[in-house]
Amino acid sequence: MKLIALFSGGIDSPVACAMMSKRFEIVPLHFHTELYAGRESLERTVESLRRLGRVCRLNRGILIRWGSFLDLLVKSEYRKFTCLLCKKGMLRAAEVMCELEGASGIVTGEALGQKASQTLHNLLAISHGLRYPVFRPLLGMDKTEIEALARKLGIWSPSHAGGCKAVPPSPKTRSDPVTLEKIFAELGLEERIRTLVDSRSTFF
């Protein structure tokens, strides 16, 4: 069985992939945020995948160029919702990839409270309406525990893909499914996702 893995190039997603690879074949899905990412973001993501590939079986990596999606969010009146709408969009895109790849679910490296999109209320809001299960094996772990596990698995690296320049000054830390779905529809994000998924490429 396969899982579509949201693979950011940080330390969390490789650890989550390694944990789930004991039972599933992992299909890494990377959203390249282009101008909103660091200069070496994609290269470091590939390096991270190579390290991970030494300890678990990976399917080919799938790349979706996500810059135009973030453009819509950054320029909208819902700036505080940028991170939530972005992650919800990624999960929707992963859901489409589940259908295309015959995968059974989605895995993410989310850990409770580490980012604005990872509060309990926001995790519920971004996951609402998905037809595939979302596995979050790191949810109850803190950063120190995740880093220790990465070292144990042999996939630790002091460098990572870097932060995102689209993060708003005051991210929304508490939303609800109805509000988020309404904004999602108003901005026409579902149609944009389909277009971006259709133009995907492989990169690993």
CATH H-level superfamily of 2-202 = HUPs (3.40.50.620)
| Structure tokens, 164 | 């995102």
Domain residue spans of the chain: 2-202
φ, ψ of residue 36 to 5 degrees: the values are: -90, -5
Distance CA 147, CA 105 (A): 25
Closest Cα partner for 69 from 193, 198, 201, 171? 193
Band of residue 40 on the pLDDT scale cut at 50, 70, 90: confident
Tens of pLDDT, residue by residue over 129-170, are 999 999 999 999 999 999 999 999 999 887 665 678 899 999
Asked if residues 28 and 58 have their Cβ atoms less than 8 Å apart, the reply is yes
Closest Cα partner for 106 from 92, 123, 120? 92
Distance CA 142, CA 156 (A): 16
- Which pTM value belongs to this model? 0.95
Distance CA 101, CA 98 (A): 5
Tens of pLDDT, residue by residue over 1-36, are 999 999 987 899 999 999 999 999 999 999 999 889
pLDDT at 39 over 70: no
| pLDDT score for 136 | 98
